[in-house]
Structure 1
Amino acid sequence: MKAKQRRALCLSMLAGLLCLWSPVAAAQESTAIPPSNALDRIIAAGVVRIAVPRDLPPFGSLDAKGEPQGYDVDVARLIAQDLGVRLRLVPMTSVDRIPKLMSGSVDLVVANLGVDPERAKAIAFSSPYAPFFSGVFGAPGLAVKGPADLAGRKVAVTRDTLEDRELARIAPRGVEILRFDDNQATLSAFQSGQAELVVTGSAVVAAMARGQGRRIETKFILRESPASIGVRRGEPELLHWVNVFVLHKKLGGELDRLSRKWFGEPLRPLPSL
């Protein structure tokens, strides 16, 4: 075989090998295995989307420039920092927290989310990261010491919250429950005199008392309800990471520092799940 013929044959064989290799390489490239769990996906994407309150100071609210601020906002910043990713804050009202998490619109909910068995059917919860108790609050001098004293009273509460469910459970006949779609509207109803009593959380009332609204005091406690971080069901790696994060920030003093900053008191002892 002449040199020219041998060269042509080699080139032909090489071209054939390249044709065989290209589809295989393309198939391998197109079937690259994506991150197998939510935690790895967040890290790979380089961003975490966290729901925070927009109307619940001191946990979360919007400042004069429309920027989120509060205890939950600062906790969200710590989460992104420890994950090593960018933070995308998603301010929302209470009724949107669980639906947005379940739909995949956000990765985590850090929005004063209380735990109960009904909610746990839909999402998973971390160990608590913030103290909170729900109660019935009203002006000093108003004779209300227990559920029976709510009869004949107008009581404001935010719709589809743990406070709403608890109030419905213990409310006597004759009470008028005024339900609102967001916490600001609920508090405004009390401050304007539309409602005599408000059912909400201790930290919310503490923040309101520091402002220029009506004088207010605790009438009776409905339930202890420390806040947990919401995670979608079926994401055990992410839930485990969040629990490690909460423990680390408790032991390191960061949550105590934020409690003093936003609640004006040391972090109270918190249970574990």
Structure 2
Amino acid sequence: MRKITAVAMAALTLSLTATSAFADQLADIKQRGSLVCGVLGTVEPFSFSNPQTREVQGYDVDFCSAIAKSLGVKLELKQIAVAARIPELQQGRVDILAAALGWTPERAQQIAYSDQYYVSLTKVAVKRSEGFKSVADLAGKRISANKGSTSETAVKKAVPTASTVTFQDAPTAFLALQQGRVEGLALGEMMLVKFKLQADPSTPIEILEPPVMHEQWGLGMRKGESAFIAHVNGVLQAMEKSGDATKIFDKWLGSSTAYKLRRDFKVEQIKG
């Protein structure tokens, strides 16, 4: 019995040691004086480099800034790849993720999600000259998507016979479509709208209907950090109530932008 107890105590000690590494993250961030926010940095208008200032800006950045301001600390942005988002968070290299992080049951088992702060419609774009009229027409064809993204998952479900070709970022996936290396491109609607506007007029792009996925985006945090999670959700709810969340949407995605999207969602709990 004593041997079993000793083993159990050793396991508990290891568990407590591991937990203490990120214990009371909210207090740690305040003491450190900075909030490290993981962003993609390559997805306009969510997080991208301003060509004049070289600083990363965008929709995601503005939400990170609001949270840092609420804590009275400075904001530090860390650019990360799509596939590295959750590992960077779990290993403590970032405090929070604002990185086009769509909710999935699998991800929700690994990390905590904030309330939704954006809802993305995933659609598929094709070259007009190819004559595709619906997503179903891409059966047996090649469709590009970001590696490790929910767009990749959505394509596999919507067109199981299609071959999914993944890339590290959206511009590279779009280039594959332009060069004819794939027949379709699966991305969020607003990114596809931007790419459509940027496309060579001699090879126009069409966005197919209907969407292959409605994706709720949340800010990613480590599980177990109840105080930090509650604080972040409190900030998001306050931004919704004050209208600040709507202002950020209009600034980057609204009628005066190239995307001309309408905000038909609000900050609320993600219901998986």
TM range, smaller chain? 0.7 to 0.9
Post-superposition offset of 1:36: 5.2
Gaps in structure 2 of 5+ consecutive residues:
1-20, 255-260
Question: In structure 2, what is the Cα distance between the partners aligned to 1:191 and 1:238?
Answer: 43
Across the aligned residues of Structure 1 and Structure 2, the Cα RMSD in angstroms comes to 2.2
Which residue of structure 1 aligns with residue 70 of structure 2?
A: 82
What SS class does the counterpart of residue 77 from structure 1 fall into? helix
Question: In structure 2, what is the Cα distance between the partners aligned to 1:36 and 1:102?
Answer: 13
* Correspondences of 1:1-273 after superposition (within 5 Å): 37-64=24-51, 65-140=53-128, 142-147=131-136, 149-173=137-161, 175-213=162-200, 214-264=204-254, 265-270=261-266, 271-273=268-270
Question: In structure 1, what is the Cα distance between the partners aligned to 2:127 and 2:197?
Answer: 15
Structure with larger Rg? 1
* Alpha-carbon contact 2:145-2:185 (below 8 Å) kept: yes
- Spell out, residue by residue over 1:80-112, the C-alpha distance to the aligned partner (whole angstroms, 9 max, x if none): 111110100112221111110011000000111
Which residue of structure 2 aligns with residue 11 of structure 1?
A: none
Which residue of structure 2 aligns with residue 7 of structure 1?
A: none
- Structure 1 residues 82 and 269, CA, compared in 2 at 3 Å: closer, same or farther? same
* Alpha-carbon contact 2:135-2:208 (below 8 Å) kept: no
What SS class does the counterpart of residue 203 from structure 1 fall into? helix
TM-score normalised by L of structure 2 = 0.81
> How many residues are treated as equivalent by the alignment?
239
Q: Which consecutive aligned stretches of 4+ in structure 1 deviate over 4 angstroms post-superposition?
A: none
Question: In structure 1, what is the Cα distance between the partners aligned to 2:184 and 2:178?
Answer: 10
Which residue of structure 2 aligns with residue 17 of structure 1?
A: none
TM-score normalised by L of structure 1 = 0.81
Post-superposition offset of 1:212: 4.2
